[in-house]
């Protein structure tokens, strides 16, 4: 698979790069950020999944993760949040929570979205295989984390395949898309009206249906404006408690939904993943 290096900047002895490539899954050009730490590797790696309206650039520009990633020897991969291009459909009303920038990390089953919106398979299969084949990443030492819509994506991907993603954490994830406006709009639009098809894209439903990971870390700001209506961490706490699924949910007093929140605690998440990926 041909990779095009779009940019590279020296950062803490390593390199922050952005790549583009033609995706077989989305049938579009896709971009992703990749932080390569100093040294020869092979390195453990983390996939970061961003939230609504974001691209591959938000995390790499705002989270401030490169310093500790360099010290720990972690590769960080940050894909875009949806396919893009002139032939890719968008929400007809131009809404921010569906269509471009809002792929929800699902494989769409409904037209016209099904032709390109295959972010689940893009991340889990295509990009995962590409990163392991082209970069010095240690096989079996890959974790995943994300924010908001991307936190939903990270939790569901790890729960569906804990062997592929050995560790998982999230910032302010959409804990149960089946039970919030953002999620119900996206799942109905991409997957259709049959809610039984939605369960594999809902962390709480996956846990209820028997999916498990070794443990998970979730940070949630108490001043997040989306806390009660959209994120609903209490549903995740309830599902984990009922199933005996280990969960460390930290309520961070006064923090909101922004990258100021993420940057404040990203080092904790990097250390948490590194401990599990190098054990």
Give catalytic residue positions.
Answer: 148, 224, 257
> In the numeric block, which tokens belong to residue 127?
């990009």
Residue 53 burial (C-beta neighbours within 10 Å; 0-12, 13-18, 19+):
middle
What six digits make up the tokens of 24?
Answer: 């077989």
Alpha helix (H) residue ranges in the chain: 57-62, 66-72, 119-121, 128-134, 149-160, 181-191, 203-208, 233-243, 259-277
| Contact criterion met (CB below 8 Å) for 231 and 261 | no
Query: Long-range CB contacts (< 8 A, 24+ apart) of 118-122?
Result: 118/25, 118/26, 118/83, 119/26, 119/81, 119/82, 119/83, 119/153, 120/153, 120/157, 120/201, 121/25, 122/23, 122/25, 122/26, 122/30, 122/79, 122/83
């Amino acid at each position: 698979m041909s990779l095009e290096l779009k940019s590279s900047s020296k950062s803490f002895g390593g390199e922050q790069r952005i790549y583009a490539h033609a995706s077989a899954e989305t049938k579009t050009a896709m971009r992703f950020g990749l932080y390569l730490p100093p040294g020869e590797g092979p390195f453990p790696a983390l996939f970061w999944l961003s939230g609504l309206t974001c691209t591959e650039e938000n995390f790499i520009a705002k989270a401030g993760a490169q310093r500790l990633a360099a010290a720990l020897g972690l590769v960080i991969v940050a894909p875009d949040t949806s396919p893009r291009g002139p032939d890719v459909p968008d929400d007809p009303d131009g809404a921010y929570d569906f269509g471009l920038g809002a792929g929800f990390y699902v494989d769409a089953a409904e037209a016209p979205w099904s032709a390109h919106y295959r972010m689940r398979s893009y991340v889990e299969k295509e990009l995962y295989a590409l990163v392991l084949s082209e970069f010095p990443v240690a096989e079996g030492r890959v974790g995943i984390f994300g924010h908001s819509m991307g936190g939903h994506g990270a939790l569901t991907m790890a729960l569906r395949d804990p062997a592929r993603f050995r560790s998982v954490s999230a910032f302010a994830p959409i804990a149960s898309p089946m039970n919030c406006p953002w999620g119900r709009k996206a799942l109905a639009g991409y997957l259709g009206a049959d809610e039984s098809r939605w369960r594999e894209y809902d962390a709480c439903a996956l846990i209820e249906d028997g999916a498990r990971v070794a443990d998970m870390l979730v940070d949630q700001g108490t001043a997040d404006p989306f806390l009660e209506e959209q994120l609903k961490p209490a549903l995740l706490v309830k599902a984990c408690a009922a199933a005996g699924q280990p969960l460390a949910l930290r309520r961070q007093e006064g923090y909101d939904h922004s990258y100021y929140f993420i940057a404040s605690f990203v080092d904790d998440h990097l250390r948490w993943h590194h401990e599990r990926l190098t054990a």
